Structure 1
Amino acid sequence: MRVLILRCGPAARALQAPAGAEVLDLPQVPARGDLRVLDDAARAALPEDPTPSLDEIAARPDVRHLGAPGPAPQARFIDDALRVVVVGSDAALSAVLTRAMRADFLWVEFGYVPVDPSPAATNWALPVGAGAFPLALHGAVNPAPLIRSDRGLAVAGSALLEDFSHGEYTGEIIVDDATILFRRDEGASHPPRRGLFGARLVPMTDAPGVAAAVLTTPYSPAETGRGPLARLRGALRPHGEVDEASLRTGRAVQSGGRDILVTVDGVPAKRPVKRATFYRHMRDLQIVRP
């Protein structure tokens, strides 16, 4: 197995990688040009992908690709597996997964060494800091759904839908086709600090793929929890409080409204939008986790 360690940012570079490891130091949130090495490594491991393409998968009459996440079909055609270990933040991991998704090499095994507690670390029950290296390097792959935005961004840990001015949210948010997470019309009001400020969503570790809950307070720090359900809730509310009774799961979350601010793994969009969608990608993430 070839293992490539990507240390993203100063905090990641401060962690000592195992001796003899193949290490590349990158910016805190690597751009496409910084990740060309991944394209080369993927082509070397699998020069030609003999499995069905994304277009062929989409044309199938069934939806088996949206069931329980499973191993990448490309694995049986690869003699020397490629594992990419990202050391850094959820934003760094999102950038790497986004590149892999767009170039269609999500069959790569991904390990994650979070430099700080994060939604992805919480959701996947990962150690934090240098203590995460043994699992990331030697642990087994445990596939999970990959959630992406309609702008082609992969969600590593969490995403946020909120008003661009950080006031109450005007619009509606729907999980799948029929479940309305909430609707708030222009001019509606709620008691201060307990209103409708948007929604937070996180990738699930199993089908259907994405979990979302109503954000009832503005963006602010909050504690995460422990245990399987607490981890999911904790990943949902590291910033702001959520209405746990509103928690819904599905294959997609979509919203329409006024001045929507979309934030993916702590990186906010530069401009507001009127519509936003997050949905499960047709290929699963081959992530190393317990």
Structure 2
Amino acid sequence: MRLLVLRCNSPHITDFSVVSSSVEIHDLPAVPSRKDLKIIDDAAFDVLPHDPTPSLDEIAKQPDVAHLSTPQIAPQQPETRLRIVVIGSDAALSAVLTRLMRADNLWAEIGFVPVGPSTAAKNWGLPTEEAEAVALALQGTVHPVPLIRDDAAVAIAGSATITNWEPGEITGEIIVDDHVLIRHEATVKAPRRGIYGARLVPMLDAPGIAAVTMDTPLPGDVPSRGLFPRPTGSVIPKSFSTGRAMQAGGPTLRIRVDGISRKRMVERVTFYRHLRDLQIVRP
């Protein structure tokens, strides 16, 4: 197995002695760019220069939807397995998954060692103790999960949110499959608890997306009028919905993926399950 360790602003983690094989270590920024991640493009090409399996276009044309049911082990089985271990934040992991998805290299195995709070680590039940997390990422077994992406071709590692661009309640509609999660017009005077948007997390199984309504702002999204107590980002449990896709429309929407906001507001967005599954190492 070829092992690549990407330390994303995490040079303090140095002990990889749990594996006897050689480990390629690359130190990258906290959120690596496409240029930074050329190393995984090159490694994937070295391991699998030609992919003999159906392309994404061919999969999409298949008459059944088997590829959107229970997550599957990748059909690509190169002679030498490629495992990429990401050490860093959910945003760092999102950048790596996005690069692999865009290059159609999601057959590569992914280990994750969270640094700091991580929704992805909680979703997958990863160890919180550093040495344990490193050992699992290097030696553990792959258990596929759905990969959720947005219409800008950004992969979600831990979570994504849809809110108003400026702090305050959201105006718009959010639908999960055929269920209306939110249909709301913001009030002139923002309430302490209201409709501030929606949060989604990738599921471990089909259909892929779990979403809830946010009844308070995200931390930091405090309107200048000072009408709120310290925000908690709490959710309304009864709003819990699951589906394969989530669509939103509104005049001024802000989209955040793993804490990273899009640079410009949008009027519509779609999140949906990708045709390839994520080959994640987890318990």
With normalisation by structure 2, the TM-score equals: 0.92
Give the number of the structure whose residues are more often helix, by fraction.
Answer: 1
Letter in 2 for 1:13: P
Map of 1:197-216 to 2, 5 A cutoff? 197-216=196-215
| Residue of structure 2 in register with 1:97 after alignment | 97
| Residue of structure 2 in register with 1:164 after alignment | 165
Once the 2 structures are TM-superposed, how far is the Cα of residue 190 of structure 1 from its aligned partner? 8.2
Cα separation, 2, equivalents of 1:112 and 1:122:
12
Cα separation, 1, equivalents of 2:137 and 2:2:
13
Contact 1:193 1:218 in 2 (8 A): no
Map of 1:1-290 to 2, 5 A cutoff? 1-9=1-9, 12-19=10-17, 20-75=22-77, 78-128=78-128, 129-176=130-177, 178-185=178-185, 188=187, 192-220=191-219, 240-290=233-283
Once the 2 structures are TM-superposed, how far is the Cα of residue 239 of structure 1 from its aligned partner? 6.0
CA change 1:239–1:89 in 2 (3 A) is: farther
CA change 1:249–1:18 in 2 (3 A) is: same
Structure 2 stretches lacking a partner, 5+ long: 221-230
Letter in 1 for 2:209: V
Cα separation, 1, equivalents of 2:99 and 2:45:
14
Give the number of the structure whose residues are more often strand, by fraction.
Answer: 2
CA change 1:99–1:153 in 2 (3 A) is: same
Once the 2 structures are TM-superposed, how far is the Cα of residue 131 of structure 1 from its aligned partner? 2.8
Once the 2 structures are TM-superposed, how far is the Cα of residue 141 of structure 1 from its aligned partner? 0.1
Once the 2 structures are TM-superposed, how far is the Cα of residue 243 of structure 1 from its aligned partner? 0.6
Name the SS for the 1:280 alignment partner: strand
Letter in 1 for 2:170: Y
Name the SS for the 1:34 alignment partner: coil
Letter in 2 for 1:50: P
Structure 1 stretches lacking a partner, 5+ long: 222-237
| Residue of structure 1 in register with 2:224 after alignment | none
With normalisation by structure 1, the TM-score equals: 0.89
Letter in 2 for 1:119: T
CA change 1:190–1:201 in 2 (3 A) is: farther
Cα separation, 1, equivalents of 2:131 and 2:266:
39
Once the 2 structures are TM-superposed, how far is the Cα of residue 17 of structure 1 from its aligned partner? 3.4
Contact 1:190 1:196 in 2 (8 A): no
1:245-274 deviation per Cα after TM superposition (whole angstroms, max 9, x unaligned): 100000011100021000000101111100
CA change 1:258–1:130 in 2 (3 A) is: farther
Moved over 2 A (4+): 128-131, 187-191
Cα separation, 1, equivalents of 2:212 and 2:126:
23
Once the 2 structures are TM-superposed, how far is the Cα of residue 21 of structure 1 from its aligned partner? 2.5
CA change 1:181–1:132 in 2 (3 A) is: same
Letter in 2 for 1:18: F
Letter in 2 for 1:210: I
Contact 2:2 2:23 in 1 (8 A): no
Cα separation, 2, equivalents of 1:17 and 1:275:
45
Once the 2 structures are TM-superposed, how far is the Cα of residue 193 of structure 1 from its aligned partner? 2.1
Name the SS for the 2:269 alignment partner: strand
Cα separation, 1, equivalents of 2:240 and 2:170:
17
Cα separation, 1, equivalents of 2:171 and 2:60:
33
Cα separation, 1, equivalents of 2:267 and 2:198:
15
Cα separation, 2, equivalents of 1:252 and 1:189:
31
Name the SS for the 1:135 alignment partner: helix
Task: Report the number of matched residues.
Answer: 268
